[in-house]
Structure 1
Amino acid sequence: MTKRIEIHSGPDSLERYLYTLLWPDNYFPGHPDGENIERERAQVFHATLPDWYKKEKGGK
């Protein structure tokens, strides 16, 4: 599992996208299945794409 981006819409006139950033995480304090189980976490953004993603996709 690696970090990844799912683009939902965009770009708008300011080069912003609506996207979800997903990344692996393995620490969930107090989780009933255990605290060190690998899961994926996510956060939604309305912003320009991160530089690491642009470089990975060959963009500017």
Structure 2
Amino acid sequence: MFLGDGMGITTNTAARIFKGQKLGMNGEEGYLSWERFPNVALMKVSVCLSFCLFLFFSHGFKIA
């Protein structure tokens, strides 16, 4: 499982364009490595601390 903190659609799009421009393309033709994974999901959660969310995903319990 690959969990990215603060990696919304806007951030991914900006990173893809920047990477494409660094490779000499117009920008949006490029892709990020995880966009080629066989299964990808986006999830929006509201957690005050990203570490608490990591513990929930990795250990299966939630802390306050």
Q: Same fold (TM over 0.5)?
A: no
- State the TM-score, normalized to the length of structure 1: 0.28
- State the TM-score, normalized to the length of structure 2: 0.27
Structure ranking higher in strand proportion: 1
